[in-house]
Amino acid sequence: MQGAAMSTIEELKVFTGNAHPQLARDVCDYLGIPLGESETFKFANDNTFVRIGENIRERDVFIVQPTVAPTNDNLMELLIMIDACKRASAGRITAVVSYYGYGRTDKKDQPRVPITARLVADLITTAGADRMLTLDLHAGQIQGFFNIPVDELTAEPLLSNYFAEKGLEDLVLVAVDFGISKRARDMAGRLGVPVAVIEKRRTANDDRSETLNVIGDVRGKRALTFDDEILTGGTIVNAANALLEAGVTEVFCCATHPVFAPAAPRLLKESAFKEVVVTDSVPLSPDQKVNNLTVLSIAPLIGEAMKRIHEGRSVGELFQ
């Protein structure tokens, strides 16, 4: 369906692999349609098999599959599902990648290293996707790696509305590094609060960083740290400790993607954070949902974007 979108929501089909089926079901609940019938599994030789279980000829197909851990398995599932839909004569195929794995390798920052974020973009395009829908990419230039349309949604309104409703006084938004500072300014603008920045240095390729100092007036204020994702938790926990040393009264945290390493939930639970707020862009197991963690649903945001894409309406209007 390269031309006009079909007019009825029933012509929109949503499928999912094994990466995050609950998100796909929640999106379908929002849209009021059933989840598409498909099966995805591995043979004994570790090869992935996909079968679409219903007619999708000339249909508008959306495949919900964040490329979260196990990243390579979930990426391969996505590619094979796209190919299966293409060979089943789908009208248009949109890859709904709520978390874009390999997004951190977006440039050559060392000699003789790959730009894997670009390679993944090429793979998704070559597999047959007509467009991609994603959420808070680690680096904005990743959109330019694709030769198909990319709609990048943001969880900033969802997160900012949550904290606005809490009515926290004397709040300052804290970017955990300079790389996220522009998004932090946007987030602070939504909340009507000032911005501070944590200066840090990453010392190796092992996900560890050294927090240096706090830039901005934070003494006597409540601090809300902001980042796009949480992996080990070390960066934001170090940031929380630095903020407390700088004189803040309480520390909160928000991030879009809870890409938790095994030790991250325990580290967050034992941290100084009064509350850690994330989205369900990636799946969380029950033991990862610690008592100071709040998870906000992105299903209405993803579902509304799908509906607008299907109907040929603006996605950007969601954030105006």
Q: Could you tell me if 94 and 20 lie in one domain?
A: yes
Looking at the structure of the chain, the number of domains it has is: 2
Is 4 within the bounds of a domain?
Answer: no
Q: Could you tell me if 44 and 170 lie in one domain?
A: no
Q: Provide the H-helix boundaries in the chain.
A: 21-31, 71-87, 116-127, 156-166, 181-191, 234-245, 264-269, 299-311
Residue 193 domain boundaries: 156-296
Region 63-89 average pLDDT: 98
What was the pLDDT predicted at 6? 43
Q: Is 143 exposed, middle or buried (0-12, 13-18, 19+ CB in 10 A)?
A: middle
* Nearest residue to 212 via CA among 240, 242, 234: 242
What was the pLDDT predicted at 177? 84
**What pairs with residue 51 in β-bridges?**
39
What was the pLDDT predicted at 228? 93
What was the pLDDT predicted at 211? 55
Rounded Cα distance between 269 and 253, Å, is: 12
Q: Could you tell me if 182 and 141 lie in one domain?
A: no
What was the pLDDT predicted at 36? 97
Q: Could you tell me if 140 and 239 lie in one domain?
A: no
What was the pLDDT predicted at 209? 53
Residues with catalytic function: 200
* Nearest residue to 15 via CA among 88, 69, 70, 68: 88
Is 3 within the bounds of a domain?
Answer: no
What was the pLDDT predicted at 270? 94
Q: Is the pTM of this model over 0.95?
A: no
Average pLDDT, the chain: 92
Number of helices (H), then strands (E), belonging to the chain: the values are 8, 14
What was the pLDDT predicted at 2? 43
Give me the CATH number covering residue 284: 3.40.50.2020
Rounded Cα distance between 85 and 77, Å, is: 12
229: pLDDT strictly greater than 60:
yes
Is 1 within the bounds of a domain?
Answer: no
What was the pLDDT predicted at 4? 42
Residues 6+ apart with CB under 8 A from 216: 172, 174, 194, 195, 196, 197
Is 134 within the bounds of a domain?
Answer: yes
Region 218-232 average pLDDT: 95
Rounded Cα distance between 293 and 273, Å, is: 10
Give the HSE-up count for residue 115: Cα atoms under 13 Å, Cβ half-sphere. 12
List phi, psi (to 5°) of 25. Answer: -65, -40
213: pLDDT strictly greater than 80:
yes
